[in-house]
């Protein structure tokens, strides 16, 4: 199992950042995670507990397709997903820090195939770098697009 976390302060309120991440997930996800080439809702309507999605990603030149569902949704503090075959789990956790938001993003790769185990250290490094890039990208997008007093 590979677990990574990264956090960052965003100069916007938690409700705004949560809206950007959770309420506008389908519109914004590929923007902060450019490895995502396609994302689609498999469950109609707004994002709710149990909502399912399908994504196509290209990570390090490797294409993958998987489905995942919302396993936690608590406005404005928490959004978590689990991949349908329990390959990975991911989450966004938000807390107020004055007029800012502390965003923590975590990714858990639940298993590594036997043939990939010799590369576990490289996988761990790539996932940590990706986790850190996600929080930086969300910060940049949120601060650029959300008005400070909204």
pLDDT at 110 (0 to 100): 73
All structural domains of the chain with their residue ranges: 2-145
Q: Where are the alpha helices (DSSP H) in 9-119?
A: 14-18, 25-32
pTM for the full predicted model: 0.90
User: CB neighbours of 141 closer than 8 A, spacing ≥ 6?
Assistant: 20, 28, 31, 32
**What is the pLDDT, as a whole number, of residue 117?**
72
pLDDT band at 23; cut points 50, 70, 90 = very high
Please name every residue paired with 132 in a beta bridge, in sequence order, or none if there are none. none
Which residues lie closer than 8 Å to 37 by C-beta, 6 or more apart? 30, 56, 57, 58
Q: How confident is the model at residue 115 (pLDDT cuts 50, 70, 90)?
A: low
Q: How confident is the model at residue 85 (pLDDT cuts 50, 70, 90)?
A: confident
Please give the CATH topology (third level) of the domain spanning 2-145: Alpha-D-Glucose-1,6-Bisphosphate; Chain A, domain 4 (3.30.530)
Beta carbons within 10 angstroms of residue 134's beta carbon: 22
């Amino acid at each position: 199992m590979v677990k990574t976390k990264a956090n960052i302060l965003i100069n916007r309120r938690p409700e705004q950042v949560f809206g950007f991440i959770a309420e506008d997930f389908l519109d914004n996800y590929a923007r902060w995670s450019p490895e995502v080439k396609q994302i689609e809702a498999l469950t109609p309507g707004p994002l709710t507990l149990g909502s399912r999605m399908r994504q196509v990603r290209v990570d390090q030149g490797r294409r993958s397709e998987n489905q995942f569902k919302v396993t936690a949704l608590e406005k404005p503090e928490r959004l978590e997903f689990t991949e349908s075959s329990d390959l990975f789990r991911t989450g966004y956790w938000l807390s107020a820090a004055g007029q800012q938001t502390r965003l923590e993003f975590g990714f858990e790769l639940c298993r590594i195939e036997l043939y990939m185990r010799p590369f576990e250290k490289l996988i761990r490094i790539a996932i940590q770098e990706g986790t850190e890039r996600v929080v930086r990208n969300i910060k940049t997008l949120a601060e650029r697009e959300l008005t400070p007093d909204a």
